[in-house]
Amino acid sequence: MATTNSLSTKTLRDTYRAAQIQQALRNAVVAEKICMVDRSDLKTISSPYITAMSTVVQAVVGTYTPANIATTDDTLTVADEFIVSGQIKGFEKITSNFDLFFAANQAMTNSVVTAIDKWVLNNLCEDGTGAYTTPAGGFTTSANVNVIFSNIISKTAGYADALNGLYVVVENTDLTGIMQSQVNTGFQRADEAATNGLIGNIMGVDIYVVRSGTFVDATTTTVSGTKTWTNAGHRVAGVKNVSTYAFPRGLQFEEKGVTGVTGMEVVCYGLVGFKQWTPTSDLTIDITLA
């Protein structure tokens, strides 16, 4: 006759795959690759600019009309705060199999950095004055991809700043058309794409991929802070390093014992400001997906 053994919960062997507790799935961050970053502890960064000078070519006569030179202030102001907090109780820290405190700090850092990245990208898309509307289907239609990339280049070519290098930021769902285009374009390059997957550059334009839901519509929400964006259905491209985001002193951590609860309360925060500098705002292209 079959027997039915009963086992205590302590009987079965147990192991952990890693020495650390697993973190939530993380998003890639790209803003630092395409913007200048200032980590000094300044509230504002000023970058005044003057009117464009215009040269007159004329038959030799020796006379001229002096132009008015106007100087305009252009200022980045740090006005948004990114903050995340939690409480690790004493018993949680003491009796946990993992260093919960360390893991929580790491998760907080990642959360703030990801939020800043999304915020910077949306501001970049919003404040760029370059504009381009893709053919119907956007990046997801492979036949559009070369058309879109050549248009990005043509919008910025001829300016000296274009030598900084070009970028486009797309969402992961856009890759279907981009990758199909890569494996179908050229010979060596198509083989390369077919073998290795996404090639991070088309026609000299670096491709950065963020997760779906990065470009959004938002007004003074807990995602956008003081800003308002209308970026759903948009992507951003342009010349690198023509905008700045200020991140004074990077991330700050505070740990504090609070009354009535054992352990420590932890808060992680960062202050951020963004500026698309006016004279170069044409070099940031707000792409509308048709």
- Residue 15 CB, nearest distance to another protein (Å)? 47
- Residues 121 to 150: which contact another protein by CB under 8 A? 126, 129, 131
Q: Which position among 38, 217, 248, 262 is part of the footprint of another protein (CB under 8 A)?
A: 217
Q: Which amino acid is at 155?
A: K
Q: Running DSSP on this structure, what letter comes out for residue 79?
A: -
Residues 104, 23 contacting (CB under 8 angstroms): no
Closest approach of Cβ 75 to another protein, in Å? 16
219 binds another protein (CB under 8 A): yes
Please state whether beta strands 252-256 and 264-276 pair in parallel, antiparallel, or not at all (unpaired): antiparallel
- Least separation in angstroms between residue 129's CB and another protein is 8
Contact status, residue 170 vs residue 139, Cβ threshold 8 Å: yes
How many CB atoms are located within 10 Å of the residue 226 CB? 11
Between β-strands 264-276 and 80-88, what pairing exists: parallel, antiparallel or unpaired? antiparallel
The answer to whether 220 contacts another protein (rule: CB under 8 A) is yes
The answer to whether residue 228 forms part of the interface with another protein (CB under 8 A) is yes
Binding another protein (rule: CB under 8 A), the pick from 37, 157, 198, 232 is 232
To the nearest whole angstrom, how small is the minimum distance from the Cβ of residue 246 to another protein? 20
Per DSSP bridges, beta strands 205-210 and 201-202 are antiparallel
- Kindly state the smallest distance separating residue 285's Cβ from another protein, in Å: 13
Q: Is residue 75 close enough to count as binding another protein by CB under 8 A?
A: no
227 vs 264, which CB is nearer to another protein? Answer: 227
| Close Cβ partners of 230 (under 8 Å, ≥ 6 residues apart) | 126, 217
Task: Please count the residues of this chain forming the interface with another protein, following the rule CB under 8 A.
Answer: 14
Q: Are 130 and 282 in contact (CB under 8 A)?
A: yes
- Which of 78, 218, 242, 246: binder of another protein (CB under 8 A)? 218
Alpha-carbon distance 290 to 253, whole Å? 43
Does 185 help bind another protein (rule: CB under 8 A)? Answer: no
List residues binding another protein (CB under 8 A): 126, 129, 131, 217-220, 227-228, 230, 232-233, 286, 288
